[in-house]
Copies of this chain bind each other. A is one copy, B any other.
């Protein structure tokens, strides 16, 4: 019996050429669904609970209005930016996404190769299905490493050391997902990893000590080794890499990250995949930008689907952005080719948007008040 996708149809073979009619990365969404089994699709496309935050991440972007300045001379414009002393052709970072071999046999390798061709920085997940050293060996562009702090802190330190050793240029620590269990769509699909596919970078990790008896699976077991701000302080001392805290949704947490010595923060609600009905990340961005000012590099993640969304996040205070689903749809549909095409479309639309707004640089996007948030959405 051949494997079927979430609509009950046999899986289509991966695309080997860019199909006609792809105008924006999410035009790959349907093609992706047709090529993934129901479990992988639930993992890729779903979110937490009723997926209200997933939807509202989009509503927040849609509610931002542009105000163009017509007839502005934008010759020689560009999308270059500098982050943590590194120069980038454009501000689009591929977000850390776990288990990419769920979506395509080539998994993270395809992603890294496409990103190199399109000059995009890649954030490699702790839960990658390819060894971080292998990825570094194949990369032609910058790589950052995303860290989930593990119950065994010594193993965690070793993992960071491996990333440094392999040439990763920054360390992202994700702080908003110490416990899972609320992704209802995945649960309904009985999501699990297929055999032979796993978090290879965690191979050999010691099993955490058995928890002392306690009545709550949540408070007394799952959260027993959860990271705290002291872990961030410890990491800060341990690594020479730029330290970026991912999962900030409040000014208070932004300030704590800064106090712990972080170089940057990522305003993110994990794409709506952890706790439903947290606010759209875009809605909290302006206040955090105002509070952290020039001291922290400010990245944005959650909800970007188009190049114009990149422009909005930057206009509302971000220095650069992380993008997930748009290129994941491309990966699932067409491998490295799909990833590359998705990044290309994002970049092109960002440039056209800037030109139409009358902005030559990301700095002008940020300072010219080209965006305002509609009163209600």
Question: Of residues 39 to 66 in A, which have CB atoms within 8 Å of B's CB atoms?
Answer: 49-50, 52, 62, 64-66
- Binding-face segment, A5-13, A19-27, A109-117, A134-142: A19-27
- The proximity string for A residues 246-272 relative to B, scoring 1 for CB distances below 8 Å and 0 otherwise, is 011110110010000000000000000
User: Which chain B residues lie closer than 8 Å to A276 at the CB level?
Assistant: 308
Tell me, rounded to whole Å, the shortest Cβ–Cβ distance linking A26 to chain B.
9
User: Which chain B residues lie closer than 8 Å to A193 at the CB level?
Assistant: none
Smallest Cβ-Cβ distance to A260: which chain B residue? B71
A284 to B114 alpha-carbon distance, docked (Å): 42
Smallest Cβ-Cβ distance to A70: which chain B residue? B175
A65 to B181 alpha-carbon distance, docked (Å): 19
Q: Is A306 located at the chain interface by the 8 A CB criterion?
A: yes
Q: Is A279 located at the chain interface by the 8 A CB criterion?
A: yes
The answer, among B70, B215, B357, for a CB contact under 8 Å with A78, is: B215
Q: Is A188 located at the chain interface by the 8 A CB criterion?
A: yes
User: Which chain B residues lie closer than 8 Å to A74 at the CB level?
Assistant: 219, 223, 226
Question: Of residues 149 to 208 in A, which have CB atoms within 8 Å of B's CB atoms?
Answer: 175-176, 178-179, 181-182, 184-185, 187-190
**Are the C-beta atoms of B275 and A184 separated by less than 8 Å?**
no
Tell me, rounded to whole Å, the shortest Cβ–Cβ distance linking A227 to chain B.
6
**Are the C-beta atoms of B223 and A355 separated by less than 8 Å?**
yes
**Are the C-beta atoms of A277 and B308 separated by less than 8 Å?**
yes
User: Which chain B residues lie closer than 8 Å to A179 at the CB level?
Assistant: 352, 355-356
How many copies altogether? 4
**Are the C-beta atoms of A50 and B62 separated by less than 8 Å?**
yes
A349 to B215 alpha-carbon distance, docked (Å): 15
Interface residues on A, range: 35 or more
Q: Is A290 located at the chain interface by the 8 A CB criterion?
A: no
Q: Is A213 located at the chain interface by the 8 A CB criterion?
A: no
Q: Is A75 located at the chain interface by the 8 A CB criterion?
A: yes
**Are the C-beta atoms of A70 and B279 separated by less than 8 Å?**
no
Tell me, rounded to whole Å, the shortest Cβ–Cβ distance linking A371 to chain B.
9
**Are the C-beta atoms of B67 and A182 separated by less than 8 Å?**
no
Q: Is A85 located at the chain interface by the 8 A CB criterion?
A: no
Tell me, rounded to whole Å, the shortest Cβ–Cβ distance linking A330 to chain B.
16
User: Which chain B residues lie closer than 8 Å to A229 at the CB level?
Assistant: 71
- The proximity string for A residues 337-358 relative to B, scoring 1 for CB distances below 8 Å and 0 otherwise, is 0000000000011011111110
**Are the C-beta atoms of B62 and A218 separated by less than 8 Å?**
no
User: Which chain B residues lie closer than 8 Å to A64 at the CB level?
Assistant: 277
The answer, among B50, B219, B223, B355, for a CB contact under 8 Å with A218, is: B355
User: Which chain B residues lie closer than 8 Å to A275 at the CB level?
Assistant: 66, 68, 308, 353, 356-357
User: Which chain B residues lie closer than 8 Å to A253 at the CB level?
Assistant: 69-71
**Are the C-beta atoms of A355 and B178 separated by less than 8 Å?**
yes
Q: Is A18 located at the chain interface by the 8 A CB criterion?
A: no
Q: Is A360 located at the chain interface by the 8 A CB criterion?
A: yes
Tell me, rounded to whole Å, the shortest Cβ–Cβ distance linking A57 to chain B.
13
User: Which chain B residues lie closer than 8 Å to A222 at the CB level?
Assistant: 355
The answer, among B70, B182, B189, B306, for a CB contact under 8 Å with A352, is: B182
Q: Is A239 located at the chain interface by the 8 A CB criterion?
A: no
A219 to B348 alpha-carbon distance, docked (Å): 10
User: Which chain B residues lie closer than 8 Å to A248 at the CB level?
Assistant: 70
**Are the C-beta atoms of A247 and B70 separated by less than 8 Å?**
yes
A359 to B360 alpha-carbon distance, docked (Å): 46
A219 to B73 alpha-carbon distance, docked (Å): 10
A175 to B77 alpha-carbon distance, docked (Å): 19
User: Which chain B residues lie closer than 8 Å to A352 at the CB level?
Assistant: 179, 181-182, 218
Identify which of A23, A215, A252, A375 gathers the most chain B CB atoms within 10 Å of its CB.
Answer: A23
**Are the C-beta atoms of A218 and B348 separated by less than 8 Å?**
yes
